[in-house]
């Protein structure tokens, strides 16, 4: 892999100009192809992932390189084969290592867990654990693996606090420290890339659920995020190559892709989960259940003592694109395990109109209004999820949902301006 200077990195993005929504920045891109244009007919727009396009090129970007792949069960082909299995069987690529994030490469671990260092039974490849590693310790892992180039291919869910994008960030920084090249294979944002929504992280609240100041619902693909990270946040850019998709438009939901859905994590079972997640995950910061331990995590919310008044109050907000149903459920694990709780189920009836972050705020406000037992987690985890103290303190002070949303208007507008510089698709 050629190692580029920052000036070369900036110049090399011109190959993506045909599909870029803004000026190119800090990446060398295998062009996204004619199918990405907004006017393409559906038949001409058959989506091809970054991996599909890399493989179709004969793995040209990886020629002569010892390759390691950061991936998980979502790194699959259209016919549901894992890319590691495909690459391992192909003599055109020298695959020597796999790097597993949270939940592991093959996905055997629950939230907050990983598979550790082991040899993959299917391929015999060494699998290294990246979870909770960053900086020089992660760079040491890359160095020990003997790879020349690190390839990233993981399906994102579109929310700032979904940790795989920070695995991407940490791996980019570690690859730079270790002197390795970095390739990002793009996949769709399952909830579209139409826009960015919600509060922007304040840097003093940086954690693994948000390293840098991006919006809560970022509206970007992983390749676009890699370009943003390289251009705005890394102390020095990593030698970066991105392989965009072809046939993807910013207005596309996941079901337009024709790709099989593999849960990126155990509590992200369907694209419907991803649709609401960037708003209702905020309930992780409260004493209410966010639906973990049910078949509809993040769509079912509730607690003991909550009754029909919550669904009624949420409905009165007139939030676009969503209905709220009084619901009762008994989680099989996590909060209220084995106990029946009352709450709401979200039913999104107009995906294009639905704003998940505004909806999440509206549900927090109304839950506090109708249930006297409402409380934030004692560690103020809500501040880490929202990126500042503002949401918590405004809701505690009696602010309406609209007032809370108005509080991040300026910082969101500033992020949207920066974001535009790194987009690859129309």
DSSP letter assigned to residue 242: E
Q: How is residue 60 written in tokens?
A: 């040209």
Asked whether residue 215 is domain-assigned, the answer is no
Asked whether residue 424 is domain-assigned, the answer is no
pLDDT tier, 247 (very low <50, low <70, confident <90, very high otherwise): very high
Whether pLDDT at 29 is above 70: no
Whether pLDDT at 36 is above 60: no
What is the predicted pLDDT for the residue at 8?
A: 34
Are residues 284 and 247 located together in one domain of the fold?
A: no
pLDDT tier, 17 (very low <50, low <70, confident <90, very high otherwise): very low
pLDDT tens sequence across 324-381: 999 999 999 999 999 999 999 999 999 999 999 999 999 999 999 999 999 999 999 9
Asked whether residue 299 is domain-assigned, the answer is yes
pLDDT, greater one: 187 or 1: 187
Domain span holding position 399: 271-407
Are residues 245 and 332 located together in one domain of the fold?
A: no
Are residues 289 and 182 located together in one domain of the fold?
A: no
Whether pLDDT at 37 is above 50: no
pLDDT tier, 7 (very low <50, low <70, confident <90, very high otherwise): very low
β 341-348/300-303 pair status: antiparallel
Are residues 84 and 229 located together in one domain of the fold?
A: yes
Are residues 254 and 388 located together in one domain of the fold?
A: no
Please report, for the domain that includes residue 43, its CATH number. Answer: 3.40.50.12170
Distance CA 216, CA 159 (A): 6
Beta bridge partners of 153: 71
Distance between terminal CA atoms of the chain?
29
CB-based contacts of 25: which residues, under 8 Å, 6+ apart? 10, 13, 227, 230, 231, 421, 422
Distance CA 166, CA 162 (A): 8
Are residues 243 and 371 located together in one domain of the fold?
A: no
Concatenated DSSP letters of 246-307: BS--TT--GGGS-PPP--SSTT--SHHHHHHHHHHGGGGGBSSB-STTSSSBTTEEEETT--
Out of 263, 296, 315, pick the residue that ends a domain.
263
Whether pLDDT at 274 is above 80: yes
What angle (nearest 5°) sits at the alpha carbon of residue 137, between those of residues 135 and 138?
70
Are residues 310 and 243 located together in one domain of the fold?
A: no
Q: How many domains is the chain built from? A: 2
What is the predicted pLDDT for the residue at 12?
A: 35
Distance CA 186, CA 239 (A): 17
Are residues 128 and 247 located together in one domain of the fold?
A: yes
Please report, for the domain that includes residue 381, its CATH number. Answer: 3.90.1150.140
Mean of pLDDT over the chain: 90
pLDDT tier, 111 (very low <50, low <70, confident <90, very high otherwise): low
pLDDT tier, 107 (very low <50, low <70, confident <90, very high otherwise): confident
Average pLDDT over residues 373-396: 98
**In 3D, which of 139, 151, 148 has the Cα closest to residue 30?**
151
């Amino acid at each position: 892999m050629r190692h580029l200077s920052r000036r070369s990195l900036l110049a090399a993005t011109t190959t993506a100009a045909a599909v870029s929504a803004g000026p190119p920045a800090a990446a060398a891109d295998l062009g996204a192809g004619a199918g990405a244009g907004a006017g393409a007919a559906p038949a001409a727009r058959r989506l091809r992932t970054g991996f599909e396009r890399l493989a179709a090129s004969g793995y040209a970007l990886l020629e002569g390189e010892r390759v390691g792949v950061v991936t998980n069960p979502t790194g699959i082909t259209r016919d549901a084969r894992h890319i590691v299995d495909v690459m391992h069987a192909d003599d055109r690529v020298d695959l020597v290592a796999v790097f597993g994030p949270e939940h592991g490469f093959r996905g055997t671990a629950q939230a907050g867990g990983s598979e550790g260092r082991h040899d993959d039974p299917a391929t015999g490849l060494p699998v290294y654990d990246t979870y909770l590693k960053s900086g020089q310790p992660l760079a040491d892992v890359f160095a020990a693996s003997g790879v020349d180039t690190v390839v990233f291919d993981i399906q994102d869910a579109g929310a700032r606090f979904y940790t795989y994008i920070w695995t991407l960030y940490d791996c980019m920084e570690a690859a730079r420290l270790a002197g390795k090249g970095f390739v990002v294979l793009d996949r769709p944002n399952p909830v579209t890339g139409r826009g960015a929504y919600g509060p922007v992280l304040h840097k003093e609240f940086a954690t693994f659920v948000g390293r840098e100041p991006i919006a809560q619902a970022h509206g970007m693909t992983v390749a676009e995020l890699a370009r943003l990270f390289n251009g705005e946040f890394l102390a020095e850019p990593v030698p970066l190559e991105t392989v965009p998709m072809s046939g993807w438009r910013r207005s596309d939901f996941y079901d337009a892709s024709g790709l099989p859905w593999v849960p990126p994590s155990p509590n992200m079972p369907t694209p419907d989960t991803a649709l609401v997640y960037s708003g209702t995950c905020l309930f992780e910061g409260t004493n209410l259940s966010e639906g973990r331990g049910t078949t509809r995590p993040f769509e079912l919310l509730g607690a003991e003592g909550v009754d029909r008044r919550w669904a009624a109050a949420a409905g009165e907000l007139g939030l676009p694109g969503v209905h709220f149903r009084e619901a009762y459920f008994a989680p099989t694990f996590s909060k209220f395990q084995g106990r029946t709780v009352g709450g709401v189920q979200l039913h999104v009836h107009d995906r294009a109109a639905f704003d998940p972050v505004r909806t999440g705020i509206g549900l927090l406000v109304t839950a506090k209004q109708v249930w006297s037992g409402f409380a934030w987690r004692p560690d103020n985890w809500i501040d880490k999820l929202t990126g500042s103290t503002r949401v918590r303190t405004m809701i505690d002070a009696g602010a309406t949902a609209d007032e809370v949303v108005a509080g991040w208007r300026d910082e969101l507008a500033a992020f949207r301006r920066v974001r535009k510089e790194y987009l690859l698709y129309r």
